[in-house]
Amino acid sequence: MHISGNTIFIPGASSGIGLALALRLQAKGNTVIIGGRREELLARIAAENPGIDTAAIDTTDPASIRDASAAVLARHPGLNVLVPMAGIMRVEDWHAPAGFLDSAEDVIATNVLGPIRLIAEFIEHLRTRPDATILTVSSGLAFTPLRATPSYNASKAAIHMLTESLRLQLADTSVRVQELAPPAVRTELLPGHQESPHAMPLDEFADEVVALLESQPEAREVLVERVKFLRYGEARGDYDQVVAALNAADPHGE
């Protein structure tokens, strides 16, 4: 995607990575609409950041996605970038179904079905735009698993392969398909994550992502330096060592 001149919808951007990127993209000359479930929080963000638009949306609810997409496109018919950002991460114990089944269903509904439903709502509109982008959000854990979060790892691996597949299918359209794969970042994704010494500071991450989008607008994958350790372990031939290092370092991998 080009770094400026876009109209961008980012569902799941009321906090964390999504909000940090939304504010930086607005500063680069884009019209930005953030989506989230907490309407009071959305109102506060809009009041504190003039020019940011908001849309109430629950990405686990197909009806909410339909309503939000209709409202966003009515207000912003020039929308040309979709960033399905919403996601949840859960620590699970797969020794017995009581430790993981409900959690796994929630994770897959949010992290996989949510983006699929969002793309379904916007794809026909995006195909009418002369320069459109779908920027998916996977994770370094799509490539190197964290022992404590099996469903999250699997959901992000699914997003990676979905992105690869969509890029092939949409090659005959005006829609570019790119993938952002973050490392661990200091957000509220898991309890204690904001203070984790093993996670990348949020502002540092968001600044590097925007710099990469600006310098490499055609890149298939947007990879900060810190995530390459996880992303390329198998290609480098040190995958087993990367898995061991990740799970030794992360407190949730104990």
Q: Of the listed 100, 122, 143, 152, which one is catalytic? A: 152
Residue among 173, 132, 179, 160 at smallest CA distance from 1: 132
Residue among 87, 127, 129, 94 at smallest CA distance from 108: 87
Identify the sign of the CA torsion 40, 45, 48, 49.
Answer: negative
Return all residues near 24 (Cβ < 8 A) that are at least 6 apart: 206, 207, 210
Residue 21 φ then ψ, to 5°:
-70, -40
Question: How far is 142 from 224, CA to CA, in rounded Å?
Answer: 15
Cα 254 off chain centre by: 26
Quickly tell me which residue has 């898991």 as its tokens: 190
232 is catalytic: no
- CA gyration radius, the chain: 18
Just list the catalytic residues.
Answer: 152
